[in-house]
Structure 1
Amino acid sequence: MQLLVGDKQVIHRAEAAKRLLSQQAHHAASASELGVDALLSMQYPGIAGPQIAKVQAFEIIARVRELVADSKIKADSAKDYEKKAQHLLSMMDAGEMPCEVERWINSLDVYAGQANSFRACKAAACWYLRQKLRDLLSQQDRHQRAQEFGAPWLKSVELIAELEEVYEAVYTYTRQVPKPIQGFSLPVGESKKRDLKVIAKKYPNWVSLMREGAAGTKYVDAQRILELIGCRPEELEQGVTVTRSEPQTVTFKVHGAKVTKAAGQPWRKISVPISLLADDWTNRLHDQRSFTVKIDSKDGLRKSLQRISKRVLKGVPFATAYVYRHAFATMLRDSGHTVEEIGACMGHSVAETQRLYGFRKGGGRKVKPMQVSGYSVEVPREVRPLKKNKLRSVLA
Structure 2
Amino acid sequence: MRDIWTGMRAGEQPSGAKPRVTVKELEEEVPEPPAKPSSPTKADDDSVPAGLKIGAAWSWRMIVIGAAAFAVLWFFTKITLVVIPFVIAFLLAAMFQPMAAWLIKHGWNRSLASILVLISGLAAVVGVLTFVVDQFIKGVPEFSDKTIEGIKSINEWLRSGPFGLDAEQVSVYLNDVEANLNDWVNQNQDTLAQGALDIGGSVLGSLVYTLTSFFLILFCTYFFLRDGRPIWEFVTGILPRNAVEPARYAGGAAWSSLSQYMRTMVIVALVDAVGIGIGLWILDVPLWLPLATLVFLGGFIPIVGATVSGAVAVLVALVAAPNGLWTALWVLLIVLAVQQIESNLLHPLLMSRAVKLHPLAIVLGVTAGAAIASIVGALIAVPILAVVNAFTRALSRYREAHKHDDEEEEDVISEGEESVSRDAEVAPEA
- TM-score greater than 0.5 by the shorter chain: no
Greater share of residues in helix: 2
| TM-score when normalising by structure 1 | 0.26
Greater share of residues in strand: 1
| TM-score when normalising by structure 2 | 0.24
Larger gyration radius, structure 1 or structure 2:
2
